[in-house]
Structure 1
């Protein structure tokens, strides 16, 4: 068997109820080399997060089953997943609220797909380079999410328990 190193693509979740926008962004990011999963509502996004934390979340604010701001606020209590808000809400107060809730970037609709990809690259580069302060033991190292629970002496890498001596 040949020794081949398969490149693992960074996973991006998009929560956007407008199918044309969601699919367009998904396709553009996939062409840029990312693995992408799109969700039309918060319920399916919550289920996906319970199974796997992505490298980045692109989040709409106004969704049929809830508020994207509230979703990100809850998410940031559990994980340090980077977030880009992508929304039609353009008021300064909305942008400020997004950043106060922990967003790493905020892009207003309509937007340039190329600009969105560049913003995604910039956010992921900052996280890969460690220029952020992790919370609750969750770290993004190399291509992996790692969580160390100091109290229980447990290490999880990509949600898989690693046995420590």
Structure 2
């Protein structure tokens, strides 16, 4: 049984308009101990999000009424809940758009159920890490990161980060001067091997846009050419 740190079963909102996918994923996720609530269109997804308050959302892009990208955008305006997007096979535009809007991960259709469940479990493990395992607060030249509260500010101005952006920032800022390869960041932050390294680049760009005074000339997150990234 997958439990939160408070002892409550983790809740997943599954949004897909194909009943066969809903049934297949619900069965697989419930076997892992998750509680699953389903929605079949974008409007129903937003209503369910408000009423159900899930710990994670699995969100198909192609939906009736409101598509998944619009649902993601509206949820991101009010919450940093982890979101895994389901995208069409080999549709790089959908994947990039999803990440641009703040999705934490994506899985392309058709997919192996085991792969999706592995990604869900990886995110849930990150959500469940007790704050006491890491230094409570990091501070660097106007950038402050409070880990227990998941609050980030730059020169006193609070910054809204998605769940994955925050985890990526903490990973880098907790190890100043250490160069992380893209593959190392994928393992540290996403927790499994099913990743395109460009995922890291998109999230780093978003992070720079939010925390750097000049994203084109970063002060905090630097590129280690040919390797990855380093926090200085």
On whether the aligned pair clears a TM of 0.5, the verdict is: yes
Q: 2:113, 2:28 → 1: CA distance? A: 7
Q: 2:57, 2:161 → 1: CA distance? A: 19
Higher relative contact order (CA closer than 8 Å, sequence separation 6+): 1
Q: 1:46, 1:31 → 2: CA distance? A: 26
Post-superposition offset of 1:8? 2.0
- Which sections of structure 2, spanning at least 5 residues, go unmatched? 1-5, 135-146, 152-158, 164-232
Q: 1:80, 1:108 → 2: CA distance? A: 22
Task: Please say if residues 61 and 87 of structure 1, whose CA atoms lie closer than 8 Å, have aligned partners that are also in contact.
Answer: yes
Q: How many residues align?
A: 134
What is the TM-score normalised by the length of structure 1? 0.72
1:110 and 2:110 matched:
yes
SS of the residue corresponding to residue 78 of structure 1 reads coil
Task: Please say if residues 79 and 136 of structure 1, whose CA atoms lie closer than 8 Å, have aligned partners that are also in contact.
Answer: no
Task: Please say if residues 102 and 162 of structure 2, whose CA atoms lie closer than 8 Å, have aligned partners that are also in contact.
Answer: no
Q: Provide closer, same or farther for how the CA distance between residues 95 and 38 of structure 1 changes in structure 2, counting only shifts above 3 A.
A: same
Post-superposition offset of 1:90? 3.0
- Which sections of structure 1, spanning at least 5 residues, go unmatched? 1-5, 140-165
Task: Please say if residues 45 and 71 of structure 2, whose CA atoms lie closer than 8 Å, have aligned partners that are also in contact.
Answer: no
After superposition, the CA RMSD in angstroms is 2.6
More strand by share: 1
What is the TM-score normalised by the length of structure 2? 0.52
Post-superposition offset of 1:118? 0.4
Aligned to 2:50: 50
1:88 and 2:88 matched:
yes
Aligned to 2:77: 77
Post-superposition offset of 1:138? 10
Aligned to 2:28: 28
Task: Please say if residues 84 and 105 of structure 2, whose CA atoms lie closer than 8 Å, have aligned partners that are also in contact.
Answer: yes
More helix by share: 2
Aligned to 1:17: 17
Query: C-alpha deviations, 1:58-100, integer Å up to 9, x for none?
Result: 0000111121001101100101110000122532222111111
Q: Provide closer, same or farther for how the CA distance between residues 36 and 93 of structure 1 changes in structure 2, counting only shifts above 3 A.
A: same
Query: C-alpha deviations, 1:85-135, integer Å up to 9, x for none?
Result: 012253222211111111111000111111111000111222333798557
